[in-house]
């Protein structure tokens, strides 16, 4: 099985459990190069598990995850071409913003050296924190700390960027501002982006496609193509219709319906 040139990531028949708890049940999807895909589903359905498997961070029980036609388990360079932004910024409190971003380069000593400090400052400037490079985490707001985390992820110029509900702890204003910042950076860097969220409105605002998951044992209920031009309004008839469609898919679980996934264009 090989990926096409247009696919950055292919997940096929992925299953995963934790002890006796079955979490993922034969999950299959692909992510195109330069595409922004959101993984959306109810709490506890395995969204983060899918992301961590796809990012090469945890093992899986069965199935295949391919990038560039190669199983990520056999690709020893895979972790060099991906970056992850977690739900919490996970900054080192004794390091300032510049030093926290530089950590990504330190961990890849064979690829970078001290001359790459300019890349750190460029990444901080890209997320709007050039003036705060010498500030420590306790001196930054929650939104600013998450921007540092984003800069740390993009400083290595990854081919694939994984984001695990990075905006969950922010207030509405900061959340919407960072959504648009992430879209701007994604468009500028032309990186492939997989973002996990539990918020249908966020997924509609950001994604090219939305992968909607069921309750456990988790399968894909639908893959929705978001055919709305950018920048997208946050409130329009098309957005409300799409959100109602997604919430209706969630409602099928409580009604006992669990059809296997179908592709939808809205």
Ordered per-residue pLDDT tens for the chain, 266 residues: 444 558 999 999 999 999 989 999 999 999 999 999 999 999 899 999 999 999 999 999 999 999 988 999 999 889 889 999 999 999 999 999 999 999 999 887 666 666 578 899 999 999 999 999 999 999 999 999 999 999 999 999 999 999 999 998 889 999 999 999 999 999 999 999 999 999 999 999 999 999 999 999 899 999 999 999 999 999 899 999 999 999 998 776 544 444 445 555 54
- Separation between Cα atoms, residue 116 and residue 128, nearest integer Å: 19
Can you give the pLDDT at residue 107?
82
Select from 71, 82, 75, 232 the least CA-distant residue to 163: 82
List pLDDT tens digits, range 13-44: 999 999 989 999 999 999 999 999 999 999 89
**CATH 3.40.50.300-classified regions of the chain:** 1-81+162-171+181-237+248-266
State the DSSP code for 115.
Answer: G
pTM (predicted TM-score): 0.90
Calculated CA dihedral for residues 264, 227, 201, 45, nearest 10 degrees: 40
Can you give the pLDDT at residue 257?
44
List pLDDT tens digits, range 186-212: 999 999 999 999 999 999 999 999 999
CATH fold, domain 1-81+162-171+181-237+248-266, is Rossmann fold (3.40.50)
Measure the N-to-C terminal CA separation of the chain; round to a whole number of Å.
30
Can you give the pLDDT at residue 252?
62
- Separation between Cα atoms, residue 155 and residue 75, nearest integer Å: 22
């Amino acid at each position: 099985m090989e990926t096409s040139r247009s696919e950055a990531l292919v997940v096929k028949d992925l299953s995963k459990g934790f002890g006796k708890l079955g979490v993922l049940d034969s999950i299959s999807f692909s992510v195109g190069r330069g595409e922004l895909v959101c993984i959306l589903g109810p709490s506890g359905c395995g969204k983060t598990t899918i992301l961590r498997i796809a990012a090469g961070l945890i093992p899986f029980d069965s199935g295949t995850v391919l990038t560039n036609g190669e199983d990520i388990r056999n690709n020893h360079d895979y972790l060099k071409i991906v970056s992850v932004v977690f739900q919490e910024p996970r900054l080192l409190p004794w390091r300032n913003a510049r030093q926290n971003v530089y950590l990504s380069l330190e961990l890849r000593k064979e690829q970078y050296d001290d001359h790459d400090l300019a890349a750190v400052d460029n990444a901080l400037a890209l997320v709007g924190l050039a003036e705060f490079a010498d500030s420590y985490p306790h001196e930054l707001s929650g939104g600013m700390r998450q921007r540092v985390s984003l800069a740390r992820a993009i400083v290595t110029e990854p081919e694939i960027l994984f984001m695990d509900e990075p905006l969950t702890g922010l207030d509405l204003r900061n959340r919407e501002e960072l959504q648009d910042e992430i879209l701007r950076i994604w468009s500028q860097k032309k990186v492939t982006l997989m973002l996990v969220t539990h918020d249908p409105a966020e997924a509609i605002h950001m994604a090219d496609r939305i992968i909607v998951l069921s309750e456990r044992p988790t399968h894909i209920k639908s893959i929705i193509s978001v055919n709305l031009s950018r920048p997208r309004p946050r409130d329009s008839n098309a957005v409300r219709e799409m959100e109602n469609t997604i919430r209706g898919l969630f409602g099928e679980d409580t009604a006992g319906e669990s059809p296997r996934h179908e592709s939808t264009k809205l």
